[in-house]
Amino acid sequence: GAVVSQHPSRVICKSGTSVKIECRSLDFQATTMFWYRQFPKKSLMLMATSNEGSKATYEQGVEKDKFLINHASLTLSTLTVTSAHPEDSSFYICSAPNVAKNIQYFGAGTRLSVL
């Protein structure tokens, strides 16, 4: 079964609204999680590193005010796309490393469509 749960799997929203995506590690704690964005026919692009108890680290070119990341607990990180616009439509994927097992697990992804 899945060891990283990502929710929702699909969301359709109106332009200007905010959307929250959750990433949960099941059965293990993750002080760090990663958020990726995947464009059609393109690779996964690392957006940011989510750090439990501290600010997220954003990659160059990613707007931190646009993509709010909160790592509230050792098993939950959330990505909020604020004031979403059609160009934010994409596939968002999170990952959580299980340090004890030295394995990184990926969520199933969230398909965001902004109308």
Asked whether position 62 contacts another protein by CB under 8 A, the answer is: no
Which range touches another protein (CB under 8 A), out of 10-18, 29-37, 68-76, 79-87? 29-37
- In angstroms, the CA 22 to CA 109 distance is 10
As a whole number of angstroms, the longest Cα–Cα distance in the chain is: 42
- In angstroms, the CA 40 to CA 77 distance is 24
In the block, which residue shows the tokens 């940011």?
48
Q: For another protein, which residue of 26, 72, 108, 115 counts as binding (CB under 8 A)?
A: 108
- In angstroms, the CA 52 to CA 67 distance is 16
Asked whether position 50 contacts another protein by CB under 8 A, the answer is: no
Asked whether position 74 contacts another protein by CB under 8 A, the answer is: no
Q: Where on the chain is the footprint of another protein (CB under 8 A)?
A: 2, 4, 32, 34, 36, 41-46, 49, 93, 95, 97-99, 102-104, 106-109
